[in-house]
Chain A
Amino acid sequence: MAAHKRTIIDPLSDNNPITIQVLGICSALAVTVQVQTAFVMACALTVVLTCSNLLISLMRNHIPSRIRMIVEVSVIATLVVIVDQVLRAYFFELSRQLSIFVGLIITNCIVMGRAEAFAIQNRPGASILDGIGNGLGYSFILLLVASFREIIGSGSWYGWNLFPEGYVGSGLALLAPGAFLILGIIIWVQRTVTQNFKDD
């Protein structure tokens, strides 16, 4: 039980996929201009990650090790395309805002990383927890970065205006350099708090 708890709690902070392992940076920079798009992206990734972990784990004793990675990619890609198609059919506006980034979940290192590092050698139950944990860890950082960027850059949060009329947003926070700065600071804080992480 304690092991299960660690599986789901660790990725939230002490072994966070973004701030400790520095994976999934591309999307953490690209879709964090607004909290809303970051939220949808976070949900999409968590769903894909959990499902892919489950499927890979179910097949773990049958996958020939030589084609292990290509099988993982196939499973992940299939899941991502399904999510993308569903978004297009049911959440048209959001899918238009996210454009290619949903498709790019396929190349998100977190998904492939968890399949390789965890799902391929663990039971389905634990793999689901690992998927949810890492998905939440990713989501947490994504929303944090997006909150900073939207509040500083647009003066709003999830589309709600926070400041009186006349607030001039900082363009820097909306562009890529602002995202790098904010993410860098978050990683610095995280690594200062989490003293004993493994740095290869």
Chain B
Amino acid sequence: MQPADRQLVTFALIICVTCSVLLSGVAAGLRDRQERQVELDRKRNVLIAFGVDVHDEAGRRISAEQVEDIFGANVGQFVIDAATGEELAEAAVDPNAIRVKRQLRLFYWMEDGERQRFSFPISGAGLWGEIRGFISLENDLMTIAGITFNEHSETPGLGGEIERSWFQEQFQGKRLMADGEPKPLTAVRSGADDDDPHAIDGISGATITSESVARLITEDFKRYNVFFKRLRDG
């Protein structure tokens, strides 16, 4: 090996090792904090779906501690089997099964020692990527009480408007059942009739996103309806 080559290899090695050590260090050092952020985002959005105002009087978002406090005091969660609708024991819960929706996570709001309302995560394909959010239902288990979309890659300003409150608020009071059967939501192009409980206002210029949102709510509701049906039938 020529001296020049040796120098070249040595230099390359030093660069590689330095960069790797630095990156591993940063990734390991920040991992806990990143995971906490993801978890906090989830809790915050469950609260939003339940209709909790996560902003203070000044319009700023409430702190992480406050989110944890409210969540811890009022919200409980459990996992059901998608096929049977039965509540699963802690030991049977499998994160991979939850990912492919064979097991379904539910949140409930505690009031007077009782499970008052249910909320569950919703997700599905949008125009550019997956849309994720949370929805909560009234006690009749079919009327939407609140909804939020916290993860999406829709076009900002067009499909991205699904993250705005004007879009999300219109879902309140919409119904997912008719005559005892699940009924799909539809996204209407030119202003939905307020009295129609199964239609939502689409976003102009974002037809695919609007329709995707209506579809993913309908489909995920059908999955959870296995469990809700058991509750309704007593």
Contacts and interface: CB of A to CB of B under 8 A. Distances in A.
Contacts of B66: none
B130 to A, nearest CB: 12
B157 A85 contact: no
Nearest to A34: B156
A182 interface: no
Given A64-B7, A67-B8, A74-B19, A85 B26 contact: yes
B59 to A, nearest CB: 12
Nearest to B36: A89
Give the most central of A37, A96, A150: most B CB within 10 Å.
A96
Contact of B23 (A64, A67, A71, A81): A81
A154 B157 contact: yes
B8 A89 contact: no
Contact of A171 (B15, B23, B38, B158): B158
Give the contact-size bracket for chain B: 20 to 34
Nearest to B18: A78
Contacts of A96: 151
A67 B156 contact: no
A33 B154 CA distance: 12
A63 interface: yes
Nearest to B163: A97
B22 A82 contact: yes
Given A71-B15, A78-B22, A64 B30 contact: no
Interface string A162-200: 000000010100110000000000000000000000000
A88 B157 contact: no
Given A74-B15, A99-B153, A171-B157, A85 B8 contact: no
Interface of A: 33-34, 37, 62-64, 66-67, 70-71, 74-75, 77-78, 81-82, 85-86, 88-90, 92, 96-97, 99, 150, 153-154, 169, 171, 174-175
18 contacts: A33-B156, A33-B157, A62-B11, A64-B7, A67-B11, A74-B16, A74-B19, A77-B19, A82-B22, A82-B26, A85-B27, A85-B30, A85-B34, A89-B33, A89-B34, A92-B38, A150-B157, A174-B157
